[in-house]
Amino acid sequence: MSAALEEITEQALRLPRQQRLALANRLLSDDQDGDPAIEAVWEEEIVARIQAIDNGSAIGVPYEEVLGAARDRRAK
């Protein structure tokens, strides 16, 4: 990692959580902007997931349960 990137990373890690998430979102969004094919595929996936929940073929899992399971896996 270059010195400049290392410095930027260190500064970013000192930001409050919400600002780090906003920064990550912006960086990831900038990487994918402008590709209509990617956007179309994501739109289809979103619609399919909503329909699956609405028609009962998929069941949502509460965020707290998913987070707890992930923490348990990391602890092992």
State whether 14 and 50 are in the same domain: no
Residue 41, pLDDT score: 93
Q: Does 14 score more than 90 pLDDT? A: yes
Share of the chain above pLDDT 90, in %: 72
Residue 31 pLDDT greater than 80, yes or no: no
54 & 39 share domain? yes
Domain that holds residue 60: 35-76
Cα end-to-end span (Å), the chain: 30
- What is the rounded distance in angstroms from the CA atom of residue 61 to the CA atom of residue 6? 37
Indicate whether 19 and 40 sit together in one domain. no
44 with 21, same domain: the answer is no
Say which amino acid occupies 4. Answer: A
